[in-house]
Structure 1
Amino acid sequence: MLDINPLLLSITIVVFLVLIAVLNSLLFKPLFNYMNERDASIKNDLDKVGNNDAEIAALTAQAQSIVNEAKLEAAALREKVIAEAKELAESKIEAKRAELAKDKAEFEKSLAESREDLKSSLLSQLPLFKEAVKAKFSQI
């Protein structure tokens, strides 16, 4: 029924081995080389990413320190501006107080003068008032 032909069997084995050798040299070795290069590239990229993380952390720390310094400078500048504004306001208040004190002194002086004028006016008219009062009492 089935006869095994040794010549065909040996030729088939030789063709199979040649096919394995050709596939190994043309397909498998380049494929393995590509896979090894890809693994090395991935490892290299991961190492670079790890280095980038350290650089990013360093840059973040540097940026944070710059922000903190800027906040301190802004606070100092704000305090300086507030102090200058307070000094300016105090000087304006003192100037206004001096002006109001001057106005008050002038008002008191004019009030005293008006009082003296009124007093002298009333004293000058006192005899007339006495006469008018005597006249009224005499009518009663």
Structure 2
Amino acid sequence: MPALDLSTHPGHLARRLQQAHTLLWHTVVSEDVTSPQFAVLNALVGEGGMDQRSVGERVGLDRSTVAEVIRRLADRGLLDKVRDPKDGRRSVLHTTDEGRRVHRRLAPRTARMNQIFLGPLDAGEQATFLELLRRVADAVEGLRGGERG
């Protein structure tokens, strides 16, 4: 069997894209705060008081990953976990003052990184590319729906 043309395999291209994103993230945005950590901070800056499950759903992280991200952010003093007074089994999450400062510092850097990342595409291609990525990601997440929780 001859070698496959991996340039036609979406998983191979997605891996290459992820490598490029990781390199840009560490170079332009932060070596200390990861992209998933920023996504959680961003969700909580937008709407504090969510529980861990809701945050995971909002940012597209599975249960174990969001738990680890939240633990690391809490350990660094960027968010607080507080028992829900209405439901003791549930904790609600809020960014700390330091978490909001980190978010304010990194948000413009993420915008710059996105400009670089999408730079090879014109404005129309960028919109189409993002829409197609969202559609594929949403479809795949729908397949594993029972896994998140």
Query: Shorter-chain TM-score: which interval?
Result: under 0.3
The one of the two structures with greater contact order (alpha-carbon pairs below 8 A, sep at least 6) is 2
Q: Which has the larger radius of gyration?
A: 1
The TM-score, its normalising length taken from structure 2, stands at: 0.17
Q: Which has the higher strand share?
A: 2
